[in-house]
C-alpha cells in the first residue's frame, strides 16, 4: 500500500462535520504519516491558517488545474 498524495502537493478538503471551521481553498501536503485507523494520514497546511491539520487520505482530494 502506498500514499496517494506526495509531500508538496496541493489538495482540497472534501468537507464534512470535522472541518466546519476549516479555511476554504488549497492545502499543501506537509508530511505523509503512517497508516492508521484504516487509512493513510497526512499533515496539511493552508496559507490562511497558522497551524497544520492531520487528515485521513479519504478526507482530501487532488486539486485539478
Q: What is the DSSP string of the chain?
A: ---SS-TT-EEEE---GGGTTPPSS-EEEEEEEEEETTEEEEEEE-TT-SSEEEEEGGGEEEPP-
Cβ–Cβ < 8 Å for 29, 41:
no
Q: Does residue 35 sit within a domain?
A: yes
Domains identified in the chain, total number: 1
pLDDT 10s digits, 10-41: 999 997 757 667 888 899 999 999 999 899 99
For 43-61, write each residue's pLDDT tens digit: 999 999 999 999 999 999 9
Does 5 reside within a domain? no
Rounded CA-CA distance 11/25 in Å is 9
Residue 22 included in any domain: yes
Q: Is the pTM of this model over 0.85?
A: yes
Distance between CA atoms of 49 and 16, rounded to whole angstroms? Answer: 18
54 falls within a domain? yes
For residue 24, give its domain range.
Answer: 10-62
Amino acid at each position: 500500500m502506498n500514499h496517494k498524495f506526495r509531500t508538496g502537493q496541493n489538495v482540497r478538503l472534501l468537507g464534512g462535520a470535522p472541518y466546519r471551521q476549516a479555511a476554504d481553498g488549497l492545502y499543501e501536503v506537509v508530511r505523509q504519516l503512517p497508516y492508521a485507523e484504516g487509512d493513510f494520514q497526512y499533515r496539511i497546511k493552508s496559507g490562511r491558517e497558522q497551524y497544520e491539520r492531520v487528515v485521513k487520505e479519504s478526507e482530501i482530494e487532488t486539486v485539478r488545474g
